[in-house]
Structure 1
Amino acid sequence: MSYYVDCRQWGGRRCAALLKGKDTMSNEALTMRGPVHGTKEAKRVAVGSGVGAVIETYDFIGFGTAAALYFGTAFFPGADPVTGTLASFATLGVGFAARPLGGIIGGHLGDKLGRKPVLVASLILMGLATFAIGLLPTYSQVGLLAPALLVLVRIIQGLAFGAEWGGAILMSYEHAPWRKKGQFTGIVQAGFPVGLLLANLVFLSSVGLGSEWAWRVPFLASIVLVAVGLIIRSKVPESPVFEDVKAKGDIVKSPIVEVIKTDWRNIVRGIGLRIAETAGYAVSVTYMISYLHTNNLADKTETLVALCIAAGIGIFATYYWGKLTDRVGRRPVYIWSTAFAVVFGIPMFMLVNTGMFLLIIATIVIAYAVCQNSLAGAQGAWFPELFQAKTRSSGASLSYQISAMVSGFTPFITTLLFVSMGWMGPALLFSIYAAIGLWAALITRETWGKRERELAEEAASKTPQTINA
């Protein structure tokens, strides 16, 4: 039986590589992944998508830092510290709750109109909402209107961030060479720790400006990043896979309905996979910032320094985790990482409870660079490969963003658990999230196993490489 590789090469020319003796299942496993050797713009697309991810993360995650350190008193004064923290974390969660709707809208438009328009629109929306946060009046100035406005702009942030990921990751994935999908999508995923690092460096440098300007300046400064991002993203070419789908007339009338009807099991699996990463991050980083501060284990400066160190290491860790999946597959990385996270929950809190700054740094680095970055690095290639090209944007976005509702309210839930159970409550919740991810990894098919890697190697050897990817 012959094996047909559908690919797009230099100048829009089509090529076909016929590999003898390959089965139909393997054929389907490698179709619609883009050119075998990638497009000539593959690296530029990956970097452009990664820059956008940096900006979106700076904006979205910066809110989490501000919520943990400042918003309780600025927007919810008059309450005891725990109640103020709960209120600010609830506002944080609202943005995560809006992300699935953003994923639905962005996924639908990505499958209907293309990946690029979604990238540009989401960046503009996020940038304007984040800049607006820096201009918001506080509770002492306008009363209840202040938290209401904070919730509104947080919803807008959530919509934009929900639409962002699917377009960015698919653009990189569909331009990348077959054998380097994990590596190239790892560049995009590494944009998230870069954004985290930038956000916390700005918050760290603004600590001395006073309580109000300390949180306003980081949000106002984001407008510069947005301008740079728009210039870069405007030059990124559309996905070759989307153009193939469009050329064949395979555009689906209602991609969201189609993917839910035909591929709901992979959506559920994706949600489980993602919960371990994003909700685990909400415990080990977002909540941990507040935990260290409120329990006098570290001051604001020490907490931000530890987080900046973890983010700096996480940039390289995410990229190399993604690259590792090209060599061993997506599934093994996920299984081993989630298994480690299951047993790390209790030791994580025991280590930070010592109050020793070096142990706090080491703990946050392990929680972020191993437990979170490894999963993020694998997701970049694994999620797109679980869905057909014509509904890929919708399916991947739904899986990725629905889980955000869980992670968004996790700091709120974790704070309640701490009140009732002490640190053991958050520790066990972290391990439970990791166990959900482990379960999902065990029941999700490998999309880049030994068979696929062999076929990709053979296809690459029989397909002329006319471009430099």
Structure 2
Amino acid sequence: MLEESLRRRAILSSYLGWVLDGYDALLITPIMPLLGDLFFPGPYSFLGGLSTLVATLIGRPLGSVAMGYVGDKLGRRIGLLITVLGYSLAALAMAVMPTYNEVGIIAPLSLLTLRFIQGIFLGGEWGPGTAMIMEWSKWRSEWASAFVQSGYPIGVVMATLVYTGFTSFINQPAFSKVWWRVYIATGIVAAVIAFLIRSRLMESPLWRKPRGNPLTLLFKLRGRSLGMGIMFTGGLLTIYYSTYLIYSELLAYIGKPWLIPSVMLAATVAAVAAVLLAGPLSFVINYKWVVVITLALSLAFAPYALMINPSFTSLVALAFIENFAMGLVPHALVSKFEPEYRASGLGIAYNWGLLIGGWAPMLVGLIRPMNLGMLVMMVVGVLLAVAGILLLATEHPKH
């Protein structure tokens, strides 16, 4: 009974970190123009607001290395305590910091620094957290993988609901003066809960102090697997960032802004369903073929959904089909990395893939019409992901 309680606590606390990651991703995006006005006033305020997202993107790969190392060298538990503490303190600092009109140039520099720090700690979550869940779980790896990945879109759903709750304030003067601080601070609540649970966390049953530097072991023994993993996740994240993450921009571009709230919420719920269904589906069909088939189907459907008839139904359906592959990322990666360098391997494989996929929205913006740009980047993402998963499936752990 005690062991079962410890197992549930370990899984829940690690899962909350991935929920927080998804929550942060969507929470900041809708208010980037406001952050630009408050911290980067002038002709470059739009770029200033966008830079808050870029600062986090840059911090994530660094965080995956640093916190992956901590998760392997000192234990998953220590790594997870550091990440949630760092994220929550950075979010709190952002919620109370003065704006440009109050302190001048210090304000934008401080904001970008805090967003970079948040990126480090959020980027450090996935490696130790996923290792903790996969190592404590008694479920089949495919199902545990789907469970892990459902945390991010659930965080996005939560952020969407919070944003909807604040909608009536968004365009009011009171929001730009005070309520934006409350809006940002909402993420601290879940972070505090996660920290309290993690403070009583037991270490992973598979963790042992590594016989050397875990990063050295990772690159020496599993460098090829790491490269294939980055190709795989980079392709998936290219698809993600060039399609349903920017549905709101597409709908505004084609003159259907009234569909944005309903499409974003429904598409994210569809993504959660697809991620969870990927686990049991791969009990029947080998996981690599689940990835290949669903990505091929999504690419075949994309021209209709993005260009011919970008409607509520077609966009939600596309989000559903393309997210099956996301549910199998931990399963595809976890067996490639031994426990002594697993947190590092998982974290780097995912977050360095983000360095590839995270630039997709900008590349989409360089192509006109926008929906053609989305389709082009999706083709690139599918090719990368399919090549990555097929090559990764041929890799076997080295002892």
Tell me if both proteins adopt one fold, taking TM over 0.5 as the criterion: yes
1:269 is matched with: 228
Give the structure with higher Rg (CA). Answer: 1
Aligned AA (1:131): L
Q: CA deviation at 1:315?
A: 2.8
> Alignment identity in percent?
24
Alignment partner for residue 45 of structure 1, among 3, 7, 10?
A: 10
2:261 is matched with: 304
Counterparts in 2 of 1:287 and 1:147: CA distance versus 1, 3 Å? farther
State how 1:30-429 maps to structure 2 within 5 Å.
41-67=6-32, 70-79=34-43, 85-177=46-138, 180-211=140-171, 212=176, 215-242=180-207, 245-246=208-209, 251-293=210-252, 295-299=254-258, 302-350=259-307, 353=310, 359-360=311-312, 362-372=313-323, 374-418=324-368, 422-429=370-377
| Of 305-314 and 153-162, the range deviating more from structure 2 | 305-314
**In structure 2, how many angstroms separate the alpha carbons of the residues matched to 1:132 and 1:296?**
37
Tell me the SS of whatever aligns to 2:230: helix
Q: Write the deviation string for residues 255-313 of structure 1: whole angstroms up to 9, x where unpaired.
A: 112211221111111111112222222111333323323553214xx423321222233
**In structure 1, how many angstroms separate the alpha carbons of the residues matched to 2:2 and 2:115?**
43
Q: CA deviation at 1:59?
A: 2.3
Aligned AA (1:403): G
**In structure 2, how many angstroms separate the alpha carbons of the residues matched to 1:203 and 1:410?**
24
**In structure 1, how many angstroms separate the alpha carbons of the residues matched to 2:321 and 2:31?**
25
**In structure 2, how many angstroms separate the alpha carbons of the residues matched to 1:430 and 1:74?**
34
RMSD (Å) for aligned C-alpha atoms: 2.7
Q: CA deviation at 1:319?
A: 2.0
Equivalences, count: 391
Counterparts in 2 of 1:60 and 1:233: CA distance versus 1, 3 Å? farther
Q: Is the contact between residue 203 and residue 214 of structure 1 (CA under 8 Å) also seen in structure 2? A: no
**In structure 1, how many angstroms separate the alpha carbons of the residues matched to 2:81 and 2:101?**
36
Counterparts in 2 of 1:229 and 1:200: CA distance versus 1, 3 Å? same
Q: Write the deviation string for residues 169-223 of structure 1: whole angstroms up to 9, x where unpaired.
A: 111111122x612212322221111110111111111111134256433211222
Counterparts in 2 of 1:293 and 1:305: CA distance versus 1, 3 Å? same
Tell me the SS of whatever aligns to 2:96: coil
Tell me the SS of whatever aligns to 1:423: helix
Q: Is the contact between residue 44 and residue 236 of structure 1 (CA under 8 Å) also seen in structure 2? A: yes
**In structure 2, how many angstroms separate the alpha carbons of the residues matched to 1:43 and 1:316?**
22
Tell me the SS of whatever aligns to 1:339: helix
| Of 54-63 and 208-217, the range deviating more from structure 2 | 208-217
Unaligned 5+ runs, structure 2: none
Aligned AA (2:347): S
Unaligned 5+ runs, structure 1: 1-9, 13-38, 354-358, 449-469
TM-score (norm 1): 0.76
Counterparts in 2 of 1:399 and 1:132: CA distance versus 1, 3 Å? same
Tell me the SS of whatever aligns to 2:257: coil
Aligned AA (2:235): A
**In structure 1, how many angstroms separate the alpha carbons of the residues matched to 2:371 and 2:102?**
36
Q: Is the contact between residue 76 and residue 129 of structure 2 (CA under 8 Å) also seen in structure 1? A: yes
Tell me the SS of whatever aligns to 1:241: coil
Tell me the SS of whatever aligns to 1:252: coil
**In structure 2, how many angstroms separate the alpha carbons of the residues matched to 1:77 and 1:141?**
12
**In structure 2, how many angstroms separate the alpha carbons of the residues matched to 1:375 and 1:430?**
14
**In structure 2, how many angstroms separate the alpha carbons of the residues matched to 1:129 and 1:408?**
22
Q: Is the contact between residue 235 and residue 353 of structure 2 (CA under 8 Å) also seen in structure 1? A: no
Q: Is the contact between residue 60 and residue 123 of structure 2 (CA under 8 Å) also seen in structure 1? A: yes
Counterparts in 2 of 1:148 and 1:399: CA distance versus 1, 3 Å? same
Counterparts in 2 of 1:60 and 1:215: CA distance versus 1, 3 Å? same
Tell me the SS of whatever aligns to 2:93: helix
1:18 is matched with: none
1:452 is matched with: none
